[in-house]
């Protein structure tokens, strides 16, 4: 139901990535809010941009919202001070009722505004804390310290129980400042393909008719651990010659992944694409989805896979554990960085593919992760803070 103008709000969304899961969340949230009569302003960065980011900026501007390019990366840098001042000027001009930041860089900048006298309520969605990696070292200690201090400012929206537990128990963020609201998925947009469409997509990719196609999507970076994926896939291929991998994404480990694929002799079985403006065809080509991440918030990719009724293979880490504990009919898991464990469950999944068991994945996506339920809960948090 569209809100009338008396209950509409002006909401500033702040994001650093303009691609992948965090951006897809921001893009969907912006559309949800605009469709319900709210005025959206957008602070973004084109350092990690995409055509969809360009489209969102144009859409917000066309609807009368203000936009600014912060031009920052996800790493701390000298440009952060200039970005903070750009953000402050946008807030001064737009006078939003609510500020909602997404990911660590945007969260740090938005919450730092409070020190400059900005008064609108601030919300922050981490989309997986860096400290969840368990990596240790100086970088993790610095990120955790920053999150601990800034976690006392505004309201943090955690996407999974594992993420919230880390915020509460490790970062010592007060429970009263934490909310648990899952990522949603658009089940109208993401749905299974019929047999003819699936065959057409796979043929265009050059995937053999008899292949069992496993897919993975995400930034090729430490968090997603694509090297474990490649090593486990290579092991599984030794006993399952019909296995193929469709890998979508790019990142700082792209060259290392390519070299490892050559070393393992699996390059000929991997379909690689760096980016798809519309990822639906990716999911509709697959027989199953795998995510070997070291940590997650609550993966958009897994939710989209569930909406497409795909089996999933997941690492046993915060964020993913929420999925493995919800009674999915076609879900396998292995420990973080466990190459042999992943190879084993890939084999189990491949064997199961021909059994024709009934899946409950799409039904769970529709009942638990609708945009109305998840984004609606965020809107209610906004309204409570601004007294609507």
Gap between the Cα atoms of 67 and 64, Å rounded: 10
Q: What is the pLDDT of residues 118-174, one digit of tens each?
A: 999 999 999 999 888 877 778 888 889 999 999 999 999 999 999 999 999 999 999
Q: What is the pLDDT of residues 322-331, one digit of tens each?
A: 999 999 999 9
* Structural domain count, the chain: 2
Q: What is the pLDDT of residues 281-322, one digit of tens each?
A: 999 999 999 999 999 989 999 999 999 999 999 999 999 999
Rounded (10°) CA dihedral 156, 159, 161, 162: -90
Q: What is the pLDDT of residues 177-218, one digit of tens each?
A: 999 999 999 999 999 999 999 999 999 999 999 999 999 999
Mean of per-residue pLDDT scores for the chain = 94
Please indicate, yes or no, whether residues 177 and 259 belong to a single structural domain of this protein: no
pLDDT at 28: 95
Q: Is there a contact between 62 and 42 (Cβ–Cβ < 8 Å)?
A: no
pLDDT at 126: 96
Q: CATH number for the domain including 321?
A: 3.40.50.2000
pTM: 0.86
Q: What is the pLDDT of residues 50-101, one digit of tens each?
A: 999 999 999 999 999 999 999 999 888 889 999 999 999 999 999 999 999 9
Q: Which domain holds residue 231?
A: 195-367
Please indicate, yes or no, whether residues 220 and 340 belong to a single structural domain of this protein: yes
Gap between the Cα atoms of 30 and 27, Å rounded: 5
Please indicate, yes or no, whether residues 361 and 263 belong to a single structural domain of this protein: yes
The sign of the torsion formed by the CA atoms of 272, 278, 281, 287 equals positive
Q: What are phi and psi of 241, to 5 degrees?
A: -65, -15
Q: What is the pLDDT of residues 214-241, one digit of tens each?
A: 999 999 999 999 999 999 999 999 999 9
pLDDT for residue 7 is more than 80:
no
pLDDT for residue 6 is more than 50:
no
189 in any annotated domain = no
Please indicate, yes or no, whether residues 179 and 275 belong to a single structural domain of this protein: no
Average pLDDT over residues 17-42: 95
318 in any annotated domain = yes
Please indicate, yes or no, whether residues 295 and 382 belong to a single structural domain of this protein: no
Indicate the length of the chain as a whole number. 388
Which two structure tokens, joined as six digits, stand for 74? 């996800």
Please indicate, yes or no, whether residues 17 and 69 belong to a single structural domain of this protein: yes
190 in any annotated domain = no
User: 21-54: b or e for each residue (b if 16 or more CB lie within 10 Å)?
Assistant: bbbbbbbbbbbbbbebebbbbbbbbebbbbebbe
Q: Which residue has the tokens 């010659």?
A: 241
Share of the chain above pLDDT 70, in %: 98
pLDDT at 388: 67
């Amino acid at each position: 139901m569209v809100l009338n103008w008396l209950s509409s709000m002006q909401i500033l969304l702040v994001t650093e990535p303009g691609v992948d899961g965090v951006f897809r969340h921001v893009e969907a949230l912006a559309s949800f809010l605009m469709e319900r009569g709210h005025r959206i302003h957008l602070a973004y960065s084109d350092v990690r941009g995409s055509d969809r980011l360009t489209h969102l900026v144009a859409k917000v501007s066309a609807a009368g919202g203000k936009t600014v390019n912060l031009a920052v990366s996800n790493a701390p840098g000298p440009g952060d001070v200039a970005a903070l001042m750009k953000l402050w000027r946008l807030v001064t001009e737009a006078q939003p009722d609510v500020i909602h930041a997404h990911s660590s860089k945007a969260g740090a900048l938005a919450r730092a505004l409070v020190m400059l006298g900005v008064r609108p309520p601030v919300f922050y969605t981490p989309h997986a804390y860096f400290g969840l990696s368990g990596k240790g070292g100086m970088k993790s200690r610095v990120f955790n310290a920053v999150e601990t201090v800034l976690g006392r400012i505004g309201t943090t929206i955690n996407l999974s129980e594992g993420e919230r537990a880390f915020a509460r128990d490790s970062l010592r963020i007060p429970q009263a400042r934490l909310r648990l609201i899952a990522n949603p998925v658009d089940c109208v947009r993401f749905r299974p393909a019929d047999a003819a469409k699936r065959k057409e997509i796979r043929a265009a990719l050059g995937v053999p008719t008899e292949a069992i196609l496993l897919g993975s999507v995400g930034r090729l970076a430490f968090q997603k651990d694509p090297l474990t994926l490649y090593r486990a896939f290579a092991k599984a291929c030794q006993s399952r010659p019909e296995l193929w991998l469709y890998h979508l994404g790019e990142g700082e480990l792209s060259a290392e992944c390519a070299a490892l694929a050559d070393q393992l002799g699996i390059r000929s079985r991997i379909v690689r694409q760096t980016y798809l403006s519309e990822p639906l065809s990716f999911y509709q080509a697959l027989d199953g989805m795998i995510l070997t991440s070291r940590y997650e918030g609550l993966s958009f990719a897994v939710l989209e896979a569930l909406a497409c009724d795909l089996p999933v293979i997941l690492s046993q880490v915060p964020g993913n554990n929420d999925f493995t504990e919800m009674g999915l009919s076609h879900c396998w898991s292995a420990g973080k960085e466990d190459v042999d464990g992943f190879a084993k469950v890939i084999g189990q999944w491949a064997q199961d593919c021909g059994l024709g068991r009934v899946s409950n994945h799409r039904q769970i996506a529709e009942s638990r992760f609708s945009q109305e339920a998840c984004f609606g809960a965020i809107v209610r948090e906004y309204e409570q803070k601004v007294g609507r």
